[in-house]
A = this chain, B = another copy of it.
Amino acid sequence: MSRRPTLKDIARETGVHVSTVSRALDPQKRSSLTEEIVVKIRQAADRLGYRPNRIAFSLRKQKSMTVGVMIPDITNMIFPPIVRGIESVMEPLGYASIIVNTDGDSDRERRLTETLQERGVDGIIHTAVLRSDPNIVEAARQGLPVVTLNRKVEEAEIPYVINDEEAGIRMIFDHLHDHGHRRIAHLAGPRDLSTGLLRREAFCSVARDYGLSADALVIEEACRFEEEEGRRCAKEILSRSPETTAILCANDRLALGAMDYCARNGHPCPDKISITGFNDMPFLDLIPPGLTTVRIEQFDAGATAARLLVQMIDGCDGKVPRETVLPVSLKCRNSVLRIETDH
């Protein structure tokens, strides 16, 4: 249990200076040394079981090879794939990720941002729910590389990666319309979350394109992206507008809640009402009747954000696109019924 060997130990062992050892162990500068001494040093390093001390490295180079990943809550199933996407590009480059859960709490978020900065992270990937967040913007303004995921950033020159929410809503609206649905209600997400707002706006926009007037639209807004809110809003929609044939939900959990409510109250999906989701979370295949939804490539989103961040860290800020929009796709299961058009 003796302490880890350092360059100094290897230097003593091989009778050279520590800087020589440092050079011998650095693939970049190895070339400027005698083959013979390099071999000797590497052997000694192996023999002693030398492992570089990244902390000392970080202090010296002012580079921690660490990035911060801020997410609302890792237990929300959409985030693990994002995290793995980030890891898939960061880890091979030698970066470690410190993942923090903000719980959407802005106070907590501020503290965590500070913590990450104290730890000298080289950059931050900020997977946002809240549409505005001063702390991270401030950090970015101070020169810390930041990339935002899932949120358009107006405040600063922060590059962001988003999914094509608008296209997704359009796809699924088209899909419903193609199946004869004309009375399509929207079970919207919270307006203060970016996805909630974006999808709602997209819904209105698409509906307008189909010639529906804005005030004729049935929209019910959930307070949170949770099943319980899905149930509540489904009830509201059904009572306010009984002729509704389809509910286009802002995400899968709301849709699942809506389905559950409808099933328990004489409107089984899809026979009596069609319901759609957004996200395509895992295990949807196992939940009857099978939710038709919009698939988002979470892993890719994470990987893309990571690649952008690395570019920024490497100082290629100029080449980093301000906006990256990732394609989404329609995932058809069995929650949409083809119905007769009225006329």
Contacts and interface: CB of A to CB of B under 8 A. Distances in A.
B98 A115 contact: no
Interface in A72-90: 73-75, 77, 80-81, 83-84, 87
A81 B80 CA distance: 12
B74 A77 contact: no
A101 B84 contact: yes
A143 interface: yes
Interface stretch (A40-48, A53-61, A177-185, A202-210): A53-61
Contacts of A80: 74-75, 80
A304 interface: no
A314 interface: no
Given A59-B59, A74-B74, A80-B80, A98 B101 contact: no
A322 to B, nearest CB: 19
Contacts of A58: 55
Given A75-B81, A96-B119, A142-B1, A286 B51 contact: no
A13 B52 CA distance: 36
A190 interface: no
Contact of A87 (B64, B81, B101): B101
Contact of A59 (B4, B55, B91, B141): B55
Interface in A122-163: 141-143
Interface residues of A, number: 44
A227 interface: yes
Given A59-B56, A260-B286, A51 B99 contact: no
A266 B74 CA distance: 39
Instruction: Count identical subunits in the complex.
Output: 2
Given A54-B120, A77-B77, A120-B55, A99 B101 contact: no
Contact of A287 (B83, B98, B287): B287
A64 B74 contact: no
Contacts of A74: 74, 80, 83-84
A83 B99 CA distance: 10
A117 interface: yes
A288 interface: yes
A256 interface: yes
A107 interface: no
Interface string A12-32: 000000000000000000000
Nearest to A57: B118
A293 to B, nearest CB: 14
A51 B83 contact: no
Contacts of A288: 288
27 contacts: A1-B141, A51-B117, A52-B118, A53-B118, A54-B118, A54-B119, A54-B120, A55-B55, A55-B58, A55-B59, A55-B120, A74-B80, A74-B84, A75-B81, A75-B282, A77-B77, A80-B80, A83-B99, A84-B101, A87-B101, A91-B100, A96-B119, A97-B98, A227-B286, A256-B286, A260-B286, A287-B287
